[in-house]
Amino acid sequence: GENVEQHPSTLSVQEGDSAVIKCTYSDSASNYFPWYKQELGKGPQLIIDIRSNVGEKKDQRIAVTLNKTAKHFSLHITETQPEDSAVYFCAVRPESSASKIIFGSGTRLSIRP
């Protein structure tokens, strides 16, 4: 079945700097790649997603890139702010099982003032 690896598990960056989180997946037929942000005491919130026919997508300070050949995708947050501190999860929807989603293990991002 599909396997998703996420790195790093923890990340600390200075406020205003950029943060990058990377994920790799195993099923080359997977075609949908969302990213979620989870704050303390809340459920995951969808922040950006990308489909396999697109290489990059941007939404203000957040961008996601996808390399289908290498089977990896990344989340980029620029000009980080204190409210970006949270746990971020990448996820993959396998083509073979379109109604379920496989999550990475999460990255705890801390923004230093």
Partner 1 sequence: KAGVTQTPRYLIKTRGQQVTLSCSPISGHRSVSWYQQTPGQGLQFLFEYFSETQRNKGNFPGRFSGRQFSNSRSEMNVSTLELGDSALYLCASSPAQPREGQYFGPGTRLTVT
Min separation Cβ 93 and partner 1, Å: 5
Smallest separation, CB 43 to partner 1 (Å): 3
Q: Which is nearer to partner 1, 12 or 97 (CB)?
A: 97
**Based on CB atoms, which residue is closest to partner 1, 80 or 94?**
94
- Tell me whether residue 80 or residue 106 sits nearer to partner 1 (CB atom): 106
Q: Which residues fall within 8 angstroms of residue 26, CB to CB, at 6 or more apart?
A: 2, 3, 4, 71
Residue 22: Cβ-neighbour burial (10 angstroms; 0-12, 13-18, 19+): middle
At 50, which amino acid appears?
Answer: I
Binding residues (CB under 8 A) for partner 1: these are 31-32, 34, 36, 41-46, 49, 89, 93, 97-106
Q: Running DSSP on this structure, what letter comes out for residue 72?
A: E
* Nearest-approach distance from CB 100 to partner 1, in angstroms: 5
Token couple for 93: 């929807």
